[in-house]
Amino acid sequence: MNPIQSYLDLDVYNVAMLEAKVVYKLIDNLPSRERNNLVDQLMRAVTSIPSNISEGQSRASTKEFLYFLSIAKGSNSEVQTQVTLGARLGYFPMEDVHTALTLNKRVGQMLNALMKKLEWKQQMEGKN
C-alpha cells in the first residue's frame, strides 16, 4: 500500500469528484426557473465535498483535517437532500438519481470511516 502523499491519493476525494461530476450532469435537467435556486445550492454543496477534503488534508493537524471532513460530511448530506428533492419534483431521470445517491452514500461511508481512523490517530497522538 502506498502512503498518502496528498488529497489526490485519497479514495474518498476521488469518489467525491465523481459524485460532483454526476450531480453536475443532473443539474442540466433543471428548468430555467430553478437556475438561481436549486442549481446554486447543488453546485455549492457538491463542490464543497472534495474541496473540504482537499483543504483539510492539506492542513497541519489531524484536528483541522477532522474539522474540514465534518464540513464535507454536512455538504454530502445537503447534496442528498437536494438530489432527492429534485427527483421528487420530477426534474431528474431516476437512473441518474440512483447513480448520484449511490455515490453520495459511498462518500458518506468513506468520510465516516476516515473520520473514525483520524479520531483514533488523534487519541493515540494524545497518549504520547
Low-confidence ranges of the chain (pLDDT < 70): 1-3, 127-128
Tell me the domain boundaries of the chain.
Answer: 11-127
How big is the chain, counted in residues? 128
pLDDT for the residue numbered 33:
87
Whole-number Å distance between alpha carbons of 101 and 115? 21
pLDDT for the residue numbered 3:
64
Q: Which CATH class is domain 11-127?
A: mainly alpha
Contact assessment for residue 26 and residue 100, using Cβ atoms and an 8 Å cutoff: yes
Please give the model's pTM, rounded to 2 decimal places. Answer: 0.92
Q: What is the dihedral of CA 55, 59, 62, 67, to 10 degrees?
A: -40
